[in-house]
Chains A and B, each alone.
Chain A
Amino acid sequence: MAMVGAASLSVVAVSRGEAVNALWIVVAAACSFLVAYRYYALYIARNVMRLDPSRPTPAIRRADGLDYVATDRTVLFGHHFAAIAGAGPLVGPVLAAQMGYLPGTLWIIAGVVLAGAVQDFMVLFISMRRDGKSLGELIRMEMGQVAGTIALFGAFMIMVIILAVLALIVVKALAESPWGMFTVAATVPLAMAMGAYTRWIRPGRIGEVSLMGLVGLLAAIVYGQSIAASPVWGPVFTFTPVQLCWILIGYGAVASVLPVWLLLAPRDYLSTFLKIGAIAALAIGIVIMAPPLKMHAVTAFVSGNGPVWSGGLFPFLFITIACGAVSGFHALISSGTTPKLIASEADAPMIGYGAMLMEAFVAIMALVGASILDPGIYFTMNSPAAVIGKDAASAAAAVTAMGFPISPELILQTAKDVGEHSIISRAGGAPTLAVAMAEIFSHVVGGPAMKAFWYHFAILFEALFILTAVDAGTRAGRFMLQDLIALVVPGFKDSRSMVPGIVATALTVAAWGFFLHQGVTDPLGGVNTLWPVFGISNQMLAAIALMLGTAVLFRMKRDRYAWVTLVPTAWLLVCTLSAGVLKLFSADAKVGFLAHAARFSGAAGRGEVLAPAKSMAEMRQIIFNDRIDAALVAIFLFVVLAVLVFTIRTCLAARKVAGSTAREIPAQLVPAE
């Protein structure tokens, strides 16, 4: 296995200057992951954690048949994977492809083996030994009250940014696309019908209602084509990005206060099964098609002047591919439902480490998807309109000038193939991936005639689970905010009174709505600005989780194994802190928020209007946005540095004590009841 992996990697390494087949990358990744799982995960389990299969897990000790259920490990693997895999691993690698496929591939493989999977596994281990407590509670238990509160606040801000970025991706995918908009809009009444069915007609029949929903979805995609072509209905479902932004904000506010069975639950069934199905289909499709990679291995944009996002390879590549290599958000899942369901400590490597490897595999496939497209198409879709203009002729000229020759006819033809008016400047990853998936799926089923169908299928699948995440995330953000406000205003957590819930929901929606609106109106396309902020915040959460792991290892008196978490912590801190500082203070106005604000306020002072702003009011808006973004990055920097200080304190204190001070539930406790 190791030899196959090494051979595949060396094929990738030596085949410069000619098209490399995508399968080599997939095989290289799969082999690396299997080797890492077989040796490194086992090493961590045996030596670092010293997992003990005879030790009762929370599912055994606190069994209640509901939250705490000892679950078969393959079943639990599915549950955990479905919870961690979302839009992140699909979008990040697509954006990262602007530097070529090689840097992204190497970072995903190295990052997941040494950092991402270790983080998920470690948090699962810590939570599993503490009755399945959540990340915030764990930090409070092991590092103190203040550290816990700071981390909770950081997690809330990260949630806000994630929601804004996800909503922005939906806006980018659905703007000016009546076909896509119709299919996504159709999911709302469809889900409500499913909700009524599971509520009153046949409660609990998830399988049959999901099948009916799927039929409805496919009908909506097919029917959407004629809706889009209709002179009456086409314009009704055509929205500008700003209109869509307000629709989404309104949707988020309303959906998150509806009863869960009506809209959220049934749509979650659809999106979960569709997600798993689409990922499996993508894997099969890539293997059958075995497409050659058309993207260069390394492009000229590694030095940091790329159109998709600005900044050099270090540190920004490691920020752009967050989920897939290492994602702090997983710490919330690994300390959520999963530790309450795990049947034996012996299952932990497969769930904690293995599921993350699987997610990295999804990221590799997304990267492959972006790289099998003609690079000219890739840059046409992902460069901001401010750089390449709005029509095919200007886009073709600009992208050709970047060094990726493309003709205006090819741009128009590609748009026509997928049934859209235009594919120019559709940043955000989702549309690019949808074109790639249409390419792969239509190769396997249906031929070129089916491309438009598969494109809208892919858009629908991405939009569906993003909308589910927006809805669920708003609810989660609301509870986090209520917890935080309750620290200052006691009684704000009171769930009997309506007011705190409504206030917290409104604040949460307003928070992500603000960043969404900023992203939508950003002339550089928004993704450019928001994705790095999201990446920084997500990696910082990962660093916080790994610091918790380090503190726990020190408190368990396993200092000599602490390098397992210290090495990835150090790397993430170096990446996120330097990226954060660059975002704040870089003199390059394309990278630094403050430099950008200074350039614009200087011009405003002289009474000039700088492109892309068109009026003084827009100038002020840009300056204001820059300062908000800068403040946000500063908050993230503060949070991570504060947790770092608490970690060091905890570790030093632990070294002075002779025995273990970790607050685990002792092994010899007999099962409850």
Chain B
Amino acid sequence: MSLFLHRLRQMARMMVGVPDYDAYLRHMRAHHPDRAPMDRTAFFRERQEARYGGKNGGKCC
């Protein structure tokens, strides 16, 4: 049940273009231990800009 809720939350966030922050942290730790990862707020803002900046071709009709 908690896994289901977690998935649902992830899906809702992904629908508006925000991927999992923990997955991002895991990736940064595994591949770029030398670089400081963005904090939650910076990550969120970066994703907002990436989704709505206009370079994604917009959404469907």
A associates with B: yes
Chain A residues in the interface with B (C-beta under 8 A): 63-67, 69, 71-72, 74-79, 82-88, 134, 159, 162, 165-166, 198, 203-204, 206-207, 260-261, 264-265, 268-269, 272-273, 276, 322-323, 327, 329-330, 332-333, 336-337, 341, 468-469, 472-473, 475-480, 534, 538, 673
Residues 1 to 29 of chain B near chain A (Cβ within 8 Å): 7, 9-21, 23-28
Contact yes or no, B15 A476, CB < 8 A? no
Contact yes or no, A83 B61, CB < 8 A? no
Contact yes or no, B31 A673, CB < 8 A? yes
Contact yes or no, B61 A162, CB < 8 A? yes
Residue from the list B18, B19, B40, B52 in contact with A260, Cβ < 8 A: B52
Contact yes or no, B20 A69, CB < 8 A? yes
Contact yes or no, A329 B18, CB < 8 A? no
Contact yes or no, A74 B7, CB < 8 A? yes
A119 to B60, CA, bound (A): 15
Known: A203-B40, A260-B52. A134 touches B16 (CB 8 A): no
Contact yes or no, A330 B41, CB < 8 A? no
Residue from the list A72, A162, A329 in contact with B7, Cβ < 8 A: A72
In the assembled complex, the CB of B51 is this many whole angstroms from the nearest CB of chain A, namely: 8
Contact yes or no, A332 B57, CB < 8 A? yes
Contact yes or no, B60 A333, CB < 8 A? yes
The closest CB in chain B to the CB of A275 belongs to: B15
Chain B residues in the interface with A (C-beta under 8 A): 7, 9-21, 23-28, 31, 40-41, 43-61
Q: Which applies to chain A's interface (DSSP): helix, strand, loop or mixed?
A: helix
Residue from the list B50, B54, B56 in contact with A66, Cβ < 8 A: B50
In the assembled complex, the CB of A393 is this many whole angstroms from the nearest CB of chain B, namely: 37
Inter-chain contacts of B18 with A (CB < 8 A): 204, 206
The interface centre, meaning the residue of B15, B23, B55 with most chain A CB atoms within 10 A of its CB, is: B15
4 closest pairs, A vs B, by CB?
A475-B54, A476-B58, A65-B24, A88-B61
The closest CB in chain B to the CB of A333 belongs to: B60
Contact yes or no, B60 A71, CB < 8 A? no
Contact yes or no, B58 A473, CB < 8 A? yes
The closest CB in chain B to the CB of A136 belongs to: B57
Known: A72-B10, A337-B56, A476-B56. A323 touches B16 (CB 8 A): no
The closest CB in chain B to the CB of A475 belongs to: B54
Contact yes or no, B27 A265, CB < 8 A? no
Residue from the list B17, B28, B54, B60 in contact with A65, Cβ < 8 A: B28
A134 to B55, CA, bound (A): 10
In the assembled complex, the CB of A287 is this many whole angstroms from the nearest CB of chain B, namely: 21
Contact yes or no, B52 A268, CB < 8 A? yes
The closest CB in chain A to the CB of B13 belongs to: A206
Inter-chain contacts of B60 with A (CB < 8 A): 83-86, 88, 323, 327, 329-330, 332-333, 469
A529 to B18, CA, bound (A): 39
Inter-chain contacts of B12 with A (CB < 8 A): 78, 206-207, 273
The closest CB in chain B to the CB of A76 belongs to: B14
A468 to B51, CA, bound (A): 13
Inter-chain contacts of A265 with B (CB < 8 A): 16, 48, 51-52
A272 to B44, CA, bound (A): 18
Inter-chain contacts of B45 with A (CB < 8 A): 203, 261
Inter-chain contacts of B17 with A (CB < 8 A): 79, 337
A207 to B5, CA, bound (A): 13
Contact yes or no, B61 A86, CB < 8 A? yes
Contact yes or no, B19 A65, CB < 8 A? yes
A-B residue pairs in contact (CB < 8 Å), sample of 25: A65-B19, A65-B23, A65-B25, A66-B46, A72-B10, A78-B15, A79-B14, A82-B15, A83-B60, A85-B60, A166-B61, A198-B44, A203-B41, A204-B40, A206-B13, A265-B48, A323-B61, A333-B57, A333-B60, A336-B57, A472-B54, A473-B58, A475-B53, A476-B54, A477-B58
In the assembled complex, the CB of A216 is this many whole angstroms from the nearest CB of chain B, namely: 18
The closest CB in chain B to the CB of A359 belongs to: B60
Contact yes or no, A472 B14, CB < 8 A? no
Contact yes or no, A479 B55, CB < 8 A? yes
Inter-chain contacts of B57 with A (CB < 8 A): 134, 332-333, 336, 476, 480
In the assembled complex, the CB of A259 is this many whole angstroms from the nearest CB of chain B, namely: 9
Contact yes or no, B14 A86, CB < 8 A? no
Inter-chain contacts of A66 with B (CB < 8 A): 19, 24, 46-47, 50
Known: A87-B61, A162-B61, A327-B60. A64 touches B13 (CB 8 A): no
Contact yes or no, A538 B61, CB < 8 A? yes
A85 to B15, CA, bound (A): 11
In the assembled complex, the CB of B17 is this many whole angstroms from the nearest CB of chain A, namely: 7
The closest CB in chain B to the CB of A478 belongs to: B54
Known: A74-B7, A472-B54, A478-B54. A206 touches B61 (CB 8 A): no
Contact yes or no, B58 A469, CB < 8 A? yes
A330 to B59, CA, bound (A): 9
Inter-chain contacts of A84 with B (CB < 8 A): 60
Contact yes or no, A71 B53, CB < 8 A? no
A457 to B25, CA, bound (A): 40
In the assembled complex, the CB of A456 is this many whole angstroms from the nearest CB of chain B, namely: 23
Contact yes or no, A327 B61, CB < 8 A? yes
The closest CB in chain A to the CB of B31 belongs to: A673
The closest CB in chain A to the CB of B10 belongs to: A75
A565 to B56, CA, bound (A): 26
Inter-chain contacts of B24 with A (CB < 8 A): 65-66, 69
A198 to B49, CA, bound (A): 13
Contact yes or no, B48 A83, CB < 8 A? no
In the assembled complex, the CB of B61 is this many whole angstroms from the nearest CB of chain A, namely: 4
Known: A204-B44, A206-B18, A476-B58. A67 touches B50 (CB 8 A): yes
A63 to B29, CA, bound (A): 13
Inter-chain contacts of A479 with B (CB < 8 A): 54-55
Inter-chain contacts of A85 with B (CB < 8 A): 60
A559 to B15, CA, bound (A): 37
